[in-house]
Amino acid sequence: MKQTGLSYNSRKALIVNIGEAAGTEIANLINEMAAEIEELRRTKVNVTKIVPGKDTERQEYIEEPV
């Protein structure tokens, strides 16, 4: 299993350089983001459009945030 997030040395360097409270907050945020990215990668699906006769080069897709 791959380790996600920061190593002990990276976390310690943050704490030493910017302070314990800020370093811990940033390290926790990075760990949460890494876990979320891993979850998104794990649940990603590929979608293939199978509509015949459509010009896919000029078609625009509008993405809405979830």
Per-residue pLDDT reduced to its tens digit, 3-53: 677 899 999 999 999 999 999 999 999 999 999 999 999 998 877 777 776
**Residue 66, pLDDT above cutoff 70:** no
Give the residue extent of every domain in the chain.
Answer: 1-66
In sequence order, what DSSP letters do the residues of 27-62 get, joined into one string? HHHHHHHHHHHHHHHHH--------TT--TTT----
Residues 47/50/53/55 CA torsion (nearest 10 deg): 10
pTM over 0.85: no
